[in-house]
Chains A and B, each alone.
Chain A
């Protein structure tokens, strides 16, 4: 991430958060507009019922507004919102008996695009993407979530730990193990074509 945009982004959202706590609807609306897409995407991982997720997000924002004078200052608006949504989805899911306990946490692959839609990809790249997808499928849900938060939502270890309720160290360990698994599988994936090439001669 570009350093300069990163800084101004953090400052401006922190300021918006303060204005929102002081009762500024504009600031609140801007935060909602900015984070809606991201919350929706994350919510779909935890529950694939779109209506349910949409309701949860709306309630989350309305509750935030209602409790605005009790909220504290934060430098991590994104982290705060992601964790709040996660908690809300779990609470509601348990209430509606969608799953029994937080340990049942799902983590779904939901997507609007197919590999074929990326016209810039070469054929062997498409094969590698399918392969990596298959590797990710074999990971425990918790590790899939870490990969998602780290590489899709671009979060730091601390932030991932806060959202998932883990320690920073366990996030680092889990991610390290996950990346190792990916790298190992890469060696195999890259090795097989070479192997077949010699085998076929």
Chain B
């Protein structure tokens, strides 16, 4: 989102964010445009006229086919491509096809034999794997985002962390003990899964405690301020000097401040004060990656995973050979990362497990 101050009626009416906000308003966008119209007296008039244009054109020209119908028709088109290609400049004799098939059967049988051979060798190899895996999972993992784009990490409790450039997150391979503890240096957006254990973010001189919610923590060592901004749910923020985990339910809660939706806590390293305020700039808690569309028609699943990796900056590990024959037809828009992965896993009869911030796809493959 950018600065809309100089936008004319025409610019607004053609702006994607404006149009979506008008036709499909949500709390965030409504708050944004309310603030915008209040900011300058002439904004109100521009807003109102652009709004009328957007609705008028939508009402006039909104004719859509159901998504399944579109997929169906595209499928018909794709199905006829071979027909077009099969009209070659010179027709091949029938025999060619015949020998080609014999060769294919031969290759397939050979593959089957090799596969069985490989299977008989397998047990010795796979026995060593679980040990390695457990060793890794209990250790602390540190991930630093050295790139210029956001990276996504999935923790062992399925919480999702968007790590912004120049930031480091430290977390255990699996959460053991009384709490789910991670340490942040830099800037990250958290979507914490609901769980029995509290989720703790150690960042600079602050500790943020939550059970399940979405919020952003910004704590670069070079900055004077540490900020915690809440998108939804409830979190409590504490100075790390004053914080202790409640030993039992009876012990008194640690002092700190409670934040709810669209509130912010700021810790100032100069005066060591932790203060609460209303969040003015809602952009910083907007995650627009989920709005990005992805479309797959009969796409090899390796390519689908690759595109997810690119879009979210997450690492996806899978066995290329096992899933070599899996193909995907789907389209996404508005789905979260986990929804996208779940839907793909469902299509290829697989499941995923978080591992060291990335995920591993496990399954039998497709026929």
Interface residues of A (CB under 8 A from B): 1-3, 5, 25-26, 28-30, 32-34, 36-37, 40-41, 44-45, 54, 57-58, 61-62, 65-66, 109-115, 118, 120-121, 125, 128-129, 132-133, 136, 147-148, 150-152, 154, 179, 186
Query: When the two chains form their complex, are residues A115 and B57 in contact, meaning their CB atoms are under 8 A apart?
Result: no
Interface residues of B (CB under 8 A from A): 1-2, 10, 13-17, 23, 25, 49, 51-53, 55-65, 70-71, 73-74, 76-78, 80-81, 84, 288, 292-293, 295-300, 303, 331
Given contacts A33-B297, A65-B84, A136-B60, contact A125 B51 (CB under 8 A): yes
Q: Can you give 10 contacting A-B residue pairs, CB < 8 Å? A: A1-B16, A25-B81, A33-B331, A36-B70, A36-B74, A44-B63, A110-B63, A111-B63, A113-B58, A129-B52
B15 proximity list for chain A (CB < 8 A): 1
Query: When the two chains form their complex, are residues A2 and B70 in contact, meaning their CB atoms are under 8 A apart?
Result: no
Query: When the two chains form their complex, are residues A32 and B56 in contact, meaning their CB atoms are under 8 A apart?
Result: no
Best-buried of B13, B293, B297 by chain A (most CB within 10 Å) = B297
The chain A residue with its CB closest to the CB of B293 is: A34
Query: When the two chains form their complex, are residues B298 and A58 in contact, meaning their CB atoms are under 8 A apart?
Result: no
Q: In the bound complex, how far is the Cα of B331 from the Cα of A30, in angstroms?
A: 9
The chain A residue with its CB closest to the CB of B81 is: A65
Minimum distance in angstroms from B310 CB to a CB of chain A: 10
A29-B78, A115-B59, A120-B25 known; 15 new pairs, CB 8 Å cut-off, are: A28-B78, A29-B297, A30-B297, A30-B299, A32-B77, A32-B78, A34-B293, A41-B63, A44-B63, A58-B73, A65-B84, A151-B14, A151-B53, A152-B57, A154-B14
Query: When the two chains form their complex, are residues B53 and A111 in contact, meaning their CB atoms are under 8 A apart?
Result: no
Q: In the bound complex, how far is the Cα of B280 from the Cα of A62, in angstroms?
A: 52
Q: In the bound complex, how far is the Cα of B292 from the Cα of A34, in angstroms?
A: 13
Top 8 closest A-B pairs, CB basis? A29-B297, A132-B56, A32-B74, A1-B16, A36-B70, A33-B74, A129-B56, A113-B62
